């Protein structure tokens, strides 16, 4: 039985799951991809926060924290998600990508990085008539 005020069932992770084996190489490849595409820690801050809050919502919908009202459970889990996202975001690009890979899976994290880099490039000012040129 878990201590009062906590539950292991459907709880969000507050730190990225350590990766091992092939996943280490996959995360390293995603970090390289992000850097090649000009993404920085700032570009991923909101993505990490959104991913962890999505997990918090799934946890609440799955019945985590049954000792609390639905609204209190929602608030508690989303507060935890926001705190975890802040810690992860402060650890840099690799930690952010590890968290995204842990939450979404390697393939989906890679797709998200590619989409984000396209949006990032499109937001760059035109230089010498080339859109998205940094």
pLDDT digits (tens, 9 = 90+) for 1-15: 333 344 433 444 544
Tokens of 128: 């010498």
Torsion angles phi and psi, residue 5, rounded to 5: 85, 5
CB 85 within 8 A of CB 52: yes
Residue 13 domain-assigned? no
- What is the pLDDT, as a whole number, of residue 10? 43
When divided into structural domains, the chain yields a total of: 1
**Inside any domain, residue 10:** no
Residue 7 lies in a domain: no
The answer as to whether 91 is a domain residue is yes
Q: What is the pLDDT of residue 3?
A: 37
In a domain, 11, yes or no: no
Q: Token digits for 20?
A: 């091992």
Contact 97, 42 (CB under 8 A): no
Identify the domain containing residue 89 by its residue range: 22-119
Query: What is the C-alpha separation between 112 and 1, in angstroms, rounded?
Result: 37
Place of tokens 């996943």: 23
Residues of the chain with pLDDT under 50: 1-12, 14-15, 133-134
Q: Would residue 85 count as lying in a domain?
A: yes
């Amino acid at each position: 039985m878990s201590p009062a005020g906590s539950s292991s069932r459907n709880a969000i992770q507050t730190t990225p799951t350590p990766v091992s084996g092939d996943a280490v190489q996959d995360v390293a490849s995603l970090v390289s991809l992000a850097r090649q595409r000009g993404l920085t820690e700032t570009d991923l801050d909101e993505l990490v926060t959104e991913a962890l809050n999505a997990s918090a919502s799934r946890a609440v919908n799955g019945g985590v924290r049954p000792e609390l009202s639905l609204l209190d459970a929602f608030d508690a889990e989303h507060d935890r998600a926001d705190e975890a996202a802040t810690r992860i975001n402060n650890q840099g690009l690799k930690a952010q990508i590890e968290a995204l890979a842990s939450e979404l899976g390697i393939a989906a994290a890679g797709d998200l990085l590619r989409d984000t880099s396209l949006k990032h490039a499109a937001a760059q000012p035109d230089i010498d008539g080339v859109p998205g040129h940094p």
